[in-house]
Each structure stands twice: as C-alpha cells, then as structure tokens.
Amino acid sequence: MEQKKKNEKDVLVVRDEKTGEISVVAGLDSKGYPKTAPAKAEHSQDFLRFDRHGDMVDNFFRNFYRQCKEPTRFGFYRVAADMADAVLPVIKDLLKDPAANAEMLAAHKVDTSEYRKQAEMENVKQESDNEPLKKTEEMEQKKEEQKQEVQQPQTAEAQDEQQPQKQEKPNLIADDQVDWNELLKCGIDKEKLSEKDLKALMNYGKTGLVTVKPTFGYESYELQARLSFQKMKDGKLKLTPHFIRNEPRLDIPHNGYTFTDEDKKNLKRTGNLGKVVDVADTRTGEMRQSYISIDRLTNEIVDVPADKVRIPYQIGQTDLTKEEMDILRAGLALPKEVTLSNGRKFQALLQVSAEKRDVEFVPGQRRQQQSQRQSKQQDNPDAQGQTQENGERQRRNRSWTNEDGSIRPISKWKDDLFNEQQIADYVAGKTVVLANAKDDQGQPCTKYLKFSHEKGRPLTYSQNPDLAQTVAPSNESRTQLAVNNEGKTNEATKHVKEPLQQGQTAPKDETQQKRQTRKSKGVKVS
C-alpha cells in the first residue's frame, strides 16, 4: 500500500489564458515559461511527471513564479498520470470554457496563490537589497543616454533634416509577411495607401483614416477607420481596424481603470489623462503603470505602459530641464516656449500622448486660450473685437505651416500663379516676385512675397526684403505705393485725382498736367 502511494504521480495540464491553447507541462524554458506537449496520449512520454507527495511540484511553481514575466497568463490543472489517457480529452473539452465548467474543474485546478505571494515577497526583498546598486546603474545609464542624445537629433523634425546622411531603417514587417490579396477583399489596396500610412502600418503603428469595405451578409459598406497590425503567438499578422466612434466611452472602465469626473474633464480638454495610472495588460492581465489618451481621429481610448515612452531631453532647439522632464514623465501638461530647428518660436503645451507614444504638442490650446480671453472681455466691445481679429489671424496662420512647423507649399498668390521654381523658393523661405500684383487702388505694381517665421505666415513687401537693408525700394513702384497705399503726397502729382499707375511719378497726360499746373498756381478766394 505504501509502495503504491509512493508511485502515485500527476501531470500538469496548462491553459494559456491569452490564446486558449491547452497542453501538458513538459518543463520550463530559459525564460520561465512552461515547455509544453500536446494533450494527447501519443505524447505521454514528453509529459513531466510529479510525485504527488514529493517536493518536485513545489520547486516547479517556485521557479515558475520567480522566472516567468507573465505568470497570470497560465492556469494549471492536476491529472493523475496513470489516468491521463482517459481524462485528458475530458479536461481539454472542459477547459474550452473554464468559467462555465468551473465546478467540474475545481477538483483538478491547482491553487498557486501561495507561490505567487511568496515570489512577490522575494522580489520586494531583492529589490530592496539591490536598490543602491540599481540607483547607481540607473545614474550611469542616464549619463550614457544623455551623451548619446546630445549627439543625436531629438525630434522627428531634426531627424528628417539629417535623413540624407543616414541609411533608412528597414520596416519591422516585411512585405511578404502580409497577404495583400486577402486585405484587398476588405477594400484595403496597398497601392492606394499613402507612403506615410504604409510606413506606419509596416512598423506596427496606426495609419491615418482610410476607407475600408467590410462585408456584412451580402452587403459591403464603406467605413472610415485607422489600421494596425498585431503579431499573434503563431507569428501570423492580424489586421485590426480602429473604427470611428461617436464619442469616447468614458463611463465604463478601461482595462480595469475607472475614470473620475476630473479624468473625464482632462481627457475632453487635452485628449490626455494627465497622470500615470494602473492599467491591466489585455494579454496577461498584469497591472502596469500606464498613460491613457484619446485617439482624436477615432475617439478610441488607448493606453501605453509608462516605461515604453521616452521623455526627450530636447524639443527642436529647446532644452528641457530635469524638473520639466519629471513633469512630463508624470503625465502632466507643461507650458513651454519652443524653438523649432527652423528658428520658429511659439508657445506650446507639451504632454505625453499614449496614442502617439511620445511627447506631443497638445492641439487646440490657442483656441482654448482665445475662448477664455473672450469670456473675460465680454463687457468690453473693443477688446472683444480685437480678440476675434487675433483669433481669425491665428486660424489663418495655422494653415500656412505643416505640423512640424515647416512651410506649407502654395501654388498661387492672388493673381500670380507660381511655377515649380517659385514654389520651391517659397518653401525654402526665399523671396518670390509677384509680377501681377496690384496696389490698394487696383493698379498693377511690383511686390514681393516671403514667409515670415516671426508672424507664422507669408507677407507681401513693396521692396525686396532680402535687399531692404542695403538697396532702396524698386523705383517703378515706390512712388505709386507711397501715394496709393500709404496716403503720402508727391509734389509732382499731388493734384492728380486718379490713382497713380505703375512707374508713374508725374502727370501722365495733358488733362492731369493742366489740373496739376492750375492748382499749383493757386486760386484767389474772396
């Protein structure tokens, strides 16, 4: 009897809660994950057998919780080794829906809570013992990173400027890994994706809004969505559409976190939660410190672990202090005057965006500030009128530049259509001659157009701004613009009623000459 007791052995059935895969434990791999064998009788020789009354199973679970980074991902069930052939098919069938069959599985389920607690206590003690060493290592790492950051561009804009000097990194997803023909059935044509969208898609990022054509029943519908790839456990790629929602779902918990009234207000105002909170990993259930934001294109709520976001030392040409970096790292908004690499300066609100996985310029803050000023100046009509004018000017200015602050190309200015060279000159910040310009009286004249970084928009000039410091204005239009636009007086034409024409500095015909001469002599008034 005693001998039989000693020979009693169990095998462990493991269910991957992430994939639903059911198998039998065959050991532990180097990362602490269970090595598995198919839950079939023909693979019984690979099963790891545990003495039911020995220490082997305890050692297994202790090592498992010490090494595995996703322990909550797996559920374990005991099955008698000598009954495995008959019992495994039944257990496997029950584990297809463990929640519904919990009562029947209870006799086989392994309670691992004590192993988990023990591992957590050991980790806390170990971290406490290693804290001085860890801090020293972190300081050294930060110093090294800072050295590297000084040598490298700190923004996407700076990277773009140096792009010709470095080789472009290959995409994380190879083209042959994607079944484009299958995606074409959903209305996703590779050839119609923009270069930017395709780049994002092939690097596990999100595209912008694109049109997809899902089929429901026999009907196909056109919908707007952002697209992204997810890599499954078997290595295959899964296309995930992120459809537009009417509004973000803030009244229901997001991956284990419940939004407060203040949270909702922050998300609606800036699109970002404004702090770091515990969020459950959708694959493992593990709670992780994360940032939360709203995808402004789809109203989808997204999160990203805080340790996956790098806080830069520099934005454009503007350095960030340690205190400012700590503010951003905490998820808070940071008002900051920023100078881009092109020299443009502007007031920005910086904050970590979970959707972009980076520090962003929070959009819409100028409009919000404008609205606040308007509410304060409601009782002052003059001030209110000026505020509206400034707001309109700001809206116009935003259309002149790209998101990175670079000059947006234009193809015309009033009656002047630009050729390719003129467009290139304008984008490069050079002066463009307006051959078909008119003065305030509608008369043809020569003007110059150049983008002003200080004003954030293009400005017209009566003289070449590149030569204004050393060369006098163009003679052909100097007198004309001074009289017609600025209301100044030219002695030779001060009695001419008609607007001066291009190049005109004296009466143009006999009628104007007579009027000028008669008025110049004077008329006696009684």
Do 7 and 85 reside in the same domain of the chain?
yes
Do 359 and 460 reside in the same domain of the chain?
no
What letter does residue 272 receive in the DSSP assignment? Answer: B
**Cα(163)–Cα(168) distance, integer angstroms:** 8
Single out the residue in 96, 111, 126 at which a domain terminates.
111
Residue 168 lies in a domain: no
SS3 216: strand
Do 488 and 519 reside in the same domain of the chain?
yes
CB 494 within 8 A of CB 515: no
Residue 249 lies in a domain: no
What letter does residue 191 receive in the DSSP assignment? Answer: G
Do 296 and 239 reside in the same domain of the chain?
no
Alpha helices in 355-401 (DSSP H): 365-376, 381-398
Taken in order 293, 297, 301, 306, the sign of the CA dihedral is negative
Residue 313 lies in a domain: yes
Burial of 427 (0-12, 13-18, 19+ CB in 10 A): middle
Residue 252 lies in a domain: no
Range(s) of the domain holding residue 199:
175-243
75-110 as b/e: b if 16+ CB within 10 A: bbbbbebeebeebbeebbebbeebeeeeeebeebeb
Burial of 501 (0-12, 13-18, 19+ CB in 10 A): middle
Residue 132 lies in a domain: no
How many domains would you assign to the chain?
5
Q: Per-residue pLDDT for the chain (526 aa), expressed as one digit of tens each?
A: 444 444 578 888 888 887 888 888 887 776 777 888 887 777 777 777 777 666 667 777 777 777 777 788 888 888 888 787 888 888 888 888 888 888 888 888 888 888 777 777 766 555 555 455 455 455 555 555 554 444 444 444 444 443 344 456 677 888 888 888 877 877 788 887 888 888 888 888 888 888 877 777 777 777 788 888 888 777 788 888 888 888 888 999 998 899 999 999 999 888 999 999 999 887 778 889 999 999 988 899 999 999 989 999 988 889 999 989 989 999 998 998 988 888 888 888 999 999 988 999 888 654 444 445 555 555 555 555 554 555 555 455 557 887 667 788 888 888 888 888 888 888 888 889 888 888 777 778 888 899 887 778 899 888 888 764 433 444 555 666 666 665 666 666 666 667 766 666 666 676 766 666 666 555 443 3
Do 12 and 90 reside in the same domain of the chain?
yes
Residue 82 lies in a domain: yes
Q: Considering the entire predicted model, what is its pTM?
A: 0.41
Single out the residue in 398, 415, 447 at which a domain terminates.
398
Do 209 and 274 reside in the same domain of the chain?
no
Q: Which residues pair with 301 in a beta bridge?
A: 294
Do 74 and 31 reside in the same domain of the chain?
yes
